[in-house]
Amino acid sequence: MRALHRFNGGVHPPEHKGESTLRPIQQPPLPEKLVIPLHQHIGNSAKPLVEAGDTVLKGQMIGKAEGYVSGAIHAPTSGKILSVGHEAVPHPSGLKDLCIVLAPDGLESWTDLQPIDHLNMDPSTLRNRLRDAGVVGLGGAVFPSFIKLNPGAGKRIRTLVLNGAECEPYITCDDMLMRERAREIIEGAAIMRHMLHAEEVVIGIEDNKPQAISAMREAAGQSMEVVAVPTIYPGGGAKQLIRVLTGIEVPAGERSTDLGVQCFNVATAASVYRAIRHGEPVLSRIVTVTGNVKNPGNFEALIGTPMDHLVDQAGPLEGSDGAIMGGPMMGFDLPSTAVPVVKATNCIIVKSDALFPTKPQPMPCIRCARCAESCPAELQPQELYWFAKAGNFGKAQEYALFDCIECGCCTYVCPSHIPLVQFYRYAKSEIWAQEREKKAADLARIRHDLRQERIEREKREKAERLAQKSAQAKTAEHSQPEQK
């Protein structure tokens, strides 16, 4: 048995996972149109490869990865491109972003797929394949996976961690995936192990998912270790899970690869498997639709499926009032559900006043430090709050503001109901804005200095040229009579 470690704090919110695990993963009917954002990952937006009027095949690349940190985008089904333009995307502000709108033809005609046998391929070929297949972290961070599978020369990966913890309340998409498609996850993990030359693979699953644990144990056999970890939020945070399974603490700003560990979500492993062994890019993902609905459950939704479409399948109940994308601890309010499912959409929670009552008015901080006791990053949230509130951002950084993972434990336990995480998000964005301004100012100053220098130089050169000319003229004048 592996000796497990613990991390500071954490909380036990009501789980609400049972509701959405009653039925198997469902295939929703094909929606009338798909809205596929070109920016579904960390890094640069994909570059559109199609125009309105084009016909595309299922799995055809319609957006090309741009630059190193980026991912490709594909047509989730066959059909006709209606437009390439700005549409509302899932974002707290109701932001519009470049999207490809696709009208499915219902034929599901596939493009040519090229499965590869990973054992005969070197990791760099496999990485290129994953990049072109649009494989990104499906745990929510949507970081391009091929980058994480490139530890760099001389770096040894001892442990590959697979994250099946799924610690947020309500979300069950990984749970259902592990129950139903454990083999795909294990095969994907084997490919990643091959790419990283990892010595061991450890799969962490919270002990509130016994069915997923046994399915994964059966699929893994002796090759990988499936570990039941204690159920405590945010035990599924990558750093927290790495800590629990290996005892290693990955400091903020450092890469876990430098410490010999790499961590992937289980759904990412499954999509690695499909991308390599079947040549299938990421066209869909499992989405939990739960909360104030009649039939909460999990849907295998094509990327770009309007969320409305999924919510309708689950049957919203009376008293529904908006929706959350993600979990109730770290998710965000959707201004509208008329936005598409993206690669980051793990869960849609239909809200009601009964499920999420309005919080009481905040009271002053009484310095009780319950926030510090609950903080998995071992910060002093009360200090950060005072500094953020006072606009003392330098001090906030000194007290490790950027080590905050915004898990929300502090806010959850605050007896004064202070929206602490909001203050940290605010302070971080202010600091980023200041840094951008400073950079811009520095750049302007450098430009100004260079310009001054150039003007000076040109003046000097002009003066020199003039002096030379007049000197020449003088010599010419002097010599003229002699030439005559």
Partner 1 sequence: MNSPYLAKSPSVAQIMAKVLLALIPAVAAYVWFFGPAVLVTMALASATALALEAVMLKLRKKPVKPYLLDGSALLTAWLLALSIPPMGPWWLIVTGTAFAIVIAKHLYGGLGSNPFNPAMVGYAVLIISFPVQMTQWLAPLSIAQSHLDFMSQLGYMFFHALPQGAQLDAFTSATPLDTLKTQLHLDKPMAAIMSMPVYGAIGGTGGQWVAAAYLAGGLYLLQQKIISWHVPAAFIATIFIVSGTFHLIDPAHHASPWFELATGATMICAFFILTDPVTGPTTPRGKLVFASGAGFLTFAIRTYGGYPDGVAFAVLLMNICVPLIDAYTQPAVFGKKK
Question: Residue 281: which residues within 8 A CB-CB, separation 6 or more?
Answer: 59, 61, 72, 74, 132, 133, 134, 135, 275
Applying CB under 8 A, which residues contact partner 1?
Answer: 7-8, 11, 13-14, 92, 169, 239, 243, 249-252, 254, 324, 326-333, 351, 356, 358-361, 363-369, 372, 376-380, 382-383, 399-400, 403, 408, 411-417, 419, 421-422
The token duo for 60 is: 């055809």
Q: Are 325 and 334 a contacting pair, CB within 8 Å? A: yes
Cβ distance to partner 1 smaller for residue 107 or 363: 363
Question: Residue 34: which residues within 8 A CB-CB, separation 6 or more?
Answer: 76, 77, 79, 101, 102, 104, 302, 303, 304, 305, 340
Cβ distance to partner 1 smaller for residue 299 or 412: 412
Three-state secondary structure call for residue 353: coil
| Closest distance of CB 411 from partner 1, Å | 5
| Closest distance of CB 368 from partner 1, Å | 4
E-strand ranges in 292-432 read 297-302, 320-325, 332-334, 347-352
Cβ distance to partner 1 smaller for residue 12 or 469: 12
Q: Are 289 and 314 a contacting pair, CB within 8 Å? A: yes
Cβ distance to partner 1 smaller for residue 42 or 400: 400
The token duo for 218 is: 């059966």
Cβ distance to partner 1 smaller for residue 279 or 322: 322
Question: Residue 230: which residues within 8 A CB-CB, separation 6 or more?
Answer: 4, 6, 206, 207, 244
| Closest distance of CB 114 from partner 1, Å | 41
Cβ distance to partner 1 smaller for residue 274 or 351: 351
Nearest to 138 by CA among 264, 260, 16: 264
3-state secondary structure 124-168: HHHHHHHHHCCCECCCCCCCEHHHHCCCCCCCCCCEEEEECCCCC
Cβ distance to partner 1 smaller for residue 141 or 444: 141
3-state secondary structure 315-348: CECCCEEEEEECCCCCCEEECCCCCECCCCCCEE
Cβ distance to partner 1 smaller for residue 332 or 432: 332
| Closest distance of CB 235 from partner 1, Å | 14
| Closest distance of CB 252 from partner 1, Å | 7
| Closest distance of CB 391 from partner 1, Å | 17
| Closest distance of CB 69 from partner 1, Å | 24
| Closest distance of CB 318 from partner 1, Å | 20
| Closest distance of CB 205 from partner 1, Å | 22
| Closest distance of CB 251 from partner 1, Å | 3
DSSP assignment of 51-97, as one string?
-TT-EE-BT-EEEE--SSSB--EE-SSSEEEEEEEEEE-S-TT--EE
| Closest distance of CB 329 from partner 1, Å | 4
| Closest distance of CB 68 from partner 1, Å | 26
Cβ distance to partner 1 smaller for residue 279 or 419: 419
Question: Residue 423: which residues within 8 A CB-CB, separation 6 or more?
Answer: 384, 385, 388, 389
Q: Measured between alpha carbons, how far is 23 from 175 in angstroms, rounded to an integer?
A: 12
Cβ distance to partner 1 smaller for residue 313 or 352: 352
> How many angstroms separate the Cα of 323 from the Cα of each of 89, 289, 331, 334, 345?
14, 10, 10, 6, 12
**End-to-end Cα spacing for the chain:** 109
Q: In this structure, how many other beta carbons lie within 10 angstroms of the beta carbon of residue 345? A: 27
Cβ distance to partner 1 smaller for residue 182 or 421: 421
Amino acid identity of residue 479, one-letter, is S
DSSP 175: H
Cβ distance to partner 1 smaller for residue 197 or 359: 359
Q: At what angle do helices 266-277 and 123-132 cross, to 10 degrees?
A: 100
